[in-house]
Structure 1
């Protein structure tokens, strides 16, 4: 039976740790609400030590275009409470209940993006913003995977 080399085992361990940190980061990033997500990437700090990630910053034009696409929040207080509740539930499910949760940050981002459905939500703008934010977080994470696992370019 083939085994991993010591170097590959180390890369696997480091990558799995980075992925686990990404799950926490994406959940805590959601706490700021979809409008805040246009200003700061949740994964900008998840690059391996000694490397430099690329494409993590959001420009003003990108922030403005996402805000326009989402529209204005219909009920800021209710949306803040909704997001706080969603963060608490996601933290419990994906972080605290590891046996039932998921260590795959791509899956977690996809699930989080679907939590506040535009059809059922009081605020379609925030629901749509969450979907857009989750899609961008997944895209950013895909780009980070080679860095997390120290893969050759």
Structure 2
């Protein structure tokens, strides 16, 4: 099932306990998204799970690693680059981890990898899109044309 970034907070509670669980097997806790992670403020939630989906176990590590991506967010290389990165660095605090869908990763990678290349960087292996669930699994997806069409009157 696809969850769009725009309706993530509204619909995720409906899906708790449904679908495949993508827990990383670590004991997690909910913490407030720190002010230093301004790219992840105003995304629809204010608490994140720690450790996160990148395997960062301390808030200092999360802040350090996430701030290196802020420049990419400011390029607007893809409409969902911020939601994609925040879902990894500051995943919403629910009973299970909600990964970005593979299609969201591919879309962001295809649009943003050339920007990274202009600065001498390649798309990192840690963001290999094959590690993310297919769109038919429970995951965070980009807003699609089909969704806009199906929900046009609502």
Bin the TM-score by the shorter chain. 0.3 to 0.5
Larger radius of gyration: 1
Structure number with the higher helix fraction is: 1
Q: Which has the higher contact order (CA 8 A, sep 6+)?
A: 1
TM-score normalised over the length of structure 2:
0.32
Structure number with the higher strand fraction is: 2
TM-score normalised over the length of structure 1:
0.32
